[in-house]
Copies of this chain bind each other. A is one copy, B any other.
Amino acid sequence: MQTPWEDRYAFRTKRMGSSVIRELLKFTQQPDIISFAGGLPAPDVFPLKEFQRACNAVLQEQGAQALQYSTTEGHPPLREMIARHTARYAIEVSPDNILITSGSQQALDFIGRLFINRGDRILVESPTYLGALQAWNAYGAEYVSVPIDEHGMITDELEKALRSGVKFIYVLPNFQNPTGSTLSLERRHKLIELADRYGVPIVEDDPYGQLRYEGQHLRPIIALDSEFHKRNGDTYSGNVIYLSTYSKLLAPGLRLGWVIAPQEVIRKLVMAKQAADLHTATFNQVVAHEIGKDGFIDQHVKTIRSTYKERRDIMLETMAELFPSEVSWTHPEGGMFLWGILPGDMDAAEVLKIAIERKVAFVPGFAFHANGGGNNTMRINFSFSNPETTREGISRLGLVLKEQISKK
């Protein structure tokens, strides 16, 4: 007889669904659509020659090691390199505080695995990164939302949310996905104080921290927390689990991210990773180390910054010129996204349908809200399209918005 697979699935699969964004992306991948929907780095800035040099060097000099199984924690020289780089951002950590993951998404999954019992409440920004919600839904998470404005999570609302009892706080402090907002220094301090007062850990997700195009670099929460707890030493032992990635600095197709956390948390994450996929691809780790060991990534980040800054500026300029006055948007100081806000009675998902007919796409903002709302918002990516395409796409979108608003 035919196997009734549906009846065999575990209870947790009821909360598993395909991401709205990824489904949308499929739809917007027709070549004639200008898509501001994805979260893709610009392929123009991938350092192909450097990759080629590194692959050849690795295969010639240490090929057998780079193609063999390796330790779950990650390639030791890569972890040492990350610890050194991190120190410049005033986070003093040792390689023992670092676990290499297959992209930041895997770190989010492992954090869910480690901390979330079915029904546990996670404190998130509203809106927040969709991939985190997707990772944690499978573990049965519920969400407590704290709204954000142009200075990030509104910490005045945080205490009430903390008193509802949460497992951890999830925050994207720099050029947040989806809004582009950055958490102010004052709020970073406030967040750390409140987290400590209620004894709740912080998960700091920082994929874009180095992609700042204006304004002053703000110290990561993990660094401020370390100071707050007056623990400075070789090994980090504070209240923060910090995530970052090479997806935006080198290439997402490598799937290389990392977690920085107290050693006892890293040890537990290592057990999770061992059971999940043994270790991240050795070859990718050795190649990333080969690329980064003499400072190439620092140079390369400057190229990325200048490319993305230009694209952001052109997008903001064109929006100011062509978007109807009823629409507002954020002016991110870095990252890859900005956030559009339509009049309250408009539905961005409906606008998207028309926009796709006119060959331009974005992501409707409702998808990023853990507890509903945001129907009149939209996430717009500015890193992927070149200046010319950006101008054309924004003018198409401006036209759609004007028409839709005039119909109201």
From A77-85, A130-138, A171-179, A299-307, give the one contacting chain B: A130-138
* Copies per assembly: 2
B109 touches A275 (CB 8 A): yes
Interface residues on A, range: 35 or more
Q: Is A127 an interface residue (CB 8 A)?
A: no
A275 touches B67 (CB 8 A): no
* Smallest Cβ-Cβ distance to A51: which chain B residue: B59
A40-B69, A114-B9, A253-B68 in contact; A271/B139 too (CB < 8 A)?
no
Q: Is A63 an interface residue (CB 8 A)?
A: yes
Give A61 to B26 CA distance when docked, in angstroms: 24
Interface string of A110-151 (1 = CB under 8 A from B): 000111110010000000000100110111000000000000
* Smallest Cβ-Cβ distance to A56: which chain B residue: B52
Q: Is A187 an interface residue (CB 8 A)?
A: no
The residue that A283 contacts in the complex, of B168, B196, B253, B280, with Cβ under 8 A, is B253
A201 touches B281 (CB 8 A): no
Q: Is A170 an interface residue (CB 8 A)?
A: no
B68 touches A276 (CB 8 A): no
Which A141-169 residues have a C-beta within 8 angstroms of B? 167-168
Give A253 to B8 CA distance when docked, in angstroms: 33
The residue that A8 contacts in the complex, of B168, B274, B275, B282, with Cβ under 8 A, is B168
The residue that A67 contacts in the complex, of B9, B38, B43, B264, with Cβ under 8 A, is B43
Q: Is A265 an interface residue (CB 8 A)?
A: yes
Give A168 to B19 CA distance when docked, in angstroms: 28
Which A7-38 residues have a C-beta within 8 angstroms of B? 8-13, 16-19, 22, 26, 38
From A100-108, A329-337, A353-361, give the one contacting chain B: A100-108
Give A223 to B88 CA distance when docked, in angstroms: 56
B268 touches A9 (CB 8 A): yes
* Smallest Cβ-Cβ distance to A45: which chain B residue: B64
Nearest-CB distance from A291 to chain B (Å)?
12
Provide the residues of chain B in CB contact with A26, threshold 8 Å. 71
Which A243-284 residues have a C-beta within 8 angstroms of B? 247, 250-255, 262, 264-265, 268, 270-272, 274-284
A10 touches B115 (CB 8 A): yes
A3-B199, A201-B3 in contact; A103/B12 too (CB < 8 A)?
no
Of the listed residues A138, A238, A252, A280, the one surrounded by the most CB atoms of chain B closer than 10 A to its CB is A252
Provide the residues of chain B in CB contact with A72, threshold 8 Å. 22
Give A265 to B277 CA distance when docked, in angstroms: 20
Q: A16-B275, A67-B254 are in contact. List 13 more A-B contacts (CB 8 A).
A: A1-B196, A9-B115, A22-B274, A48-B63, A51-B59, A52-B55, A56-B56, A67-B252, A105-B278, A255-B277, A255-B280, A281-B281, A283-B284
Q: Could you write out 28 A-B pairs with CB less than 8 Å apart?
A: A3-B199, A5-B265, A9-B114, A10-B116, A10-B139, A13-B114, A16-B268, A18-B270, A18-B271, A18-B274, A22-B72, A43-B64, A46-B63, A66-B253, A69-B252, A101-B277, A102-B281, A106-B276, A109-B277, A113-B138, A131-B278, A134-B274, A134-B275, A253-B281, A253-B282, A255-B280, A276-B276, A277-B277
